[in-house]
Amino acid sequence: MLPIGSTNFFCLLGHPAKHSISPKMHNTSFEALNLDNCYLAFDIQESDFDNAVKGLKAMGCKGFNLTMPFKNSIIPLLDELDEGAVLANSVNTVVATDGKLKGYTTDGIGFMEAMTDSGIEFKNSTITILGAGGAATSIIVQAALDGVSKINIFKRKNSTFDSIVEFAEKITHSTTCDVFVYDMADMNALSSSLRESDILINGTNVGMGADDSSLVPKEMLFPKLTVCDVIYHPPETKLLKDAKSVGCKIMNGKYMLLYQGAAAFKLWTGYNMPIDLIKSTCFDN
């Protein structure tokens, strides 16, 4: 369906954003369901972000997604937050209604759905997760709610470290999952954490695009460890290549993108995304 004067528009704000398959995913879904909507991706500099959001609001954008590095910086610009977004302090989906912007986080839902889709058992498991940005905190919250027993977070010891310690304590007290925080630079702690873990998740952008690096030395990986990455471009980061070479089950972020997008699609339109169609047209070819 070609856009006309009454077409509703949705979009992605990120940096980078040009690699995103979200436009194809959503536009294919709109067309399949005969919805008069379109979806675009905008690569926005951080210095332009506030103005970009104001512009979307002024133009009547019906909703938008956020990717790195905007999942936290969007929060002060919103009128309301969903409970999950409050708990994760992260927003990746915004719904605009009557000029008001409400933020949601669907990353965690998408990641846990992707693990289920990939046959990865996570209930009562121990997880090591690298990073504590928007996607990572959303995954941590949903994993704790979905029955993971223990989560060890590794992040840089910078100005936000203490706030993530507080976040971990909040999740521990609010769920049946024990959550701990460690310095990313502490290789001994990382090695110990991996030895007790069932699943390792890279929740950072290390390994994205042309970045051929990994936060985990290959010698720390072992076959019984399932290794996941939120990155889907490239399909196999250095971490996943290393893990695959030692016999680990691996999962990249492509189906996380699919299922978080499906949740956003439902929030925006009230319709279910045609999952099988999107898998065949956007992910499996």
Active site residue 71: yes
Amino acid (1-letter code) at residue 285: N
pLDDT in the model for residue 226: 98
Q: Is pLDDT at 71 greater than 80 in this prediction?
A: yes
Read off the pLDDT band of 3 (50, 70, 90).
Answer: low
Instruction: Determine the Cα–Cα distance for residues 17 and 13; give it in Å rounded to an integer.
Output: 7
Residue 261 lies in a domain: yes
In the chain, the number of structural domains is: 2
pLDDT in the model for residue 78: 98
Residue 117 lies in a domain: yes
Residues 124 and 171 reside in one and the same domain: yes
Please write the tens of the pLDDT for every residue from 210-232.
899 999 999 999 999 999 999 98
Residues 127 and 240 reside in one and the same domain: yes
Cβ-Cβ contacts under 8 Å for 252 (sequence gap 6 or more)? 228, 229, 231, 232, 235, 236, 237, 240
Cβ-Cβ contacts under 8 Å for 77 (sequence gap 6 or more)? 50, 53, 54, 101
Residues 228 and 131 reside in one and the same domain: yes
Residues 121 and 241 reside in one and the same domain: yes
- CATH number of the domain residue 75 falls in: 3.40.50.10860
Against a cut of 0.85, is the pTM above it? yes
Residue 112 lies in a domain: yes
Residues 238 and 129 reside in one and the same domain: yes
Residue 144 lies in a domain: yes
- CATH number of the domain residue 237 falls in: 3.40.50.720
Residues 71 and 186 reside in one and the same domain: no
Q: Annotated catalytic residue: which of 18, 54, 62, 71?
A: 71
pLDDT in the model for residue 18: 86
Residues 147 and 201 reside in one and the same domain: yes
Residue 2 lies in a domain: no
Using the 8-state DSSP alphabet, how is residue 280 labeled? I
Residue 56 lies in a domain: yes
Residue 22 lies in a domain: yes
Residues 239 and 273 reside in one and the same domain: no
Q: If you average pLDDT over residues 95-120, what whole number do you get?
A: 96
Minimal CA–CA distance to 81: which of 66, 61, 59, 60? 66
Residues 98 and 116 reside in one and the same domain: no
Residues 214 and 122 reside in one and the same domain: yes
178 beta partners: 150
Residues 195 and 238 reside in one and the same domain: yes
- Window from 88-92, 139-143, 158-162 with minimum mean pLDDT: 88-92
Q: Is pLDDT at 283 greater than 80 in this prediction?
A: yes
Residues 121 and 197 reside in one and the same domain: yes
Residue 122 lies in a domain: yes
Q: If you average pLDDT over residues 253-267, what whole number do you get?
A: 95
Q: What is the mean pLDDT of the chain?
A: 95
Please write the tens of the pLDDT for every residue from 183-214.
999 999 999 999 999 999 999 999 998 899 99
Domain that holds residue 61: 8-105+257-283
pLDDT in the model for residue 1: 59
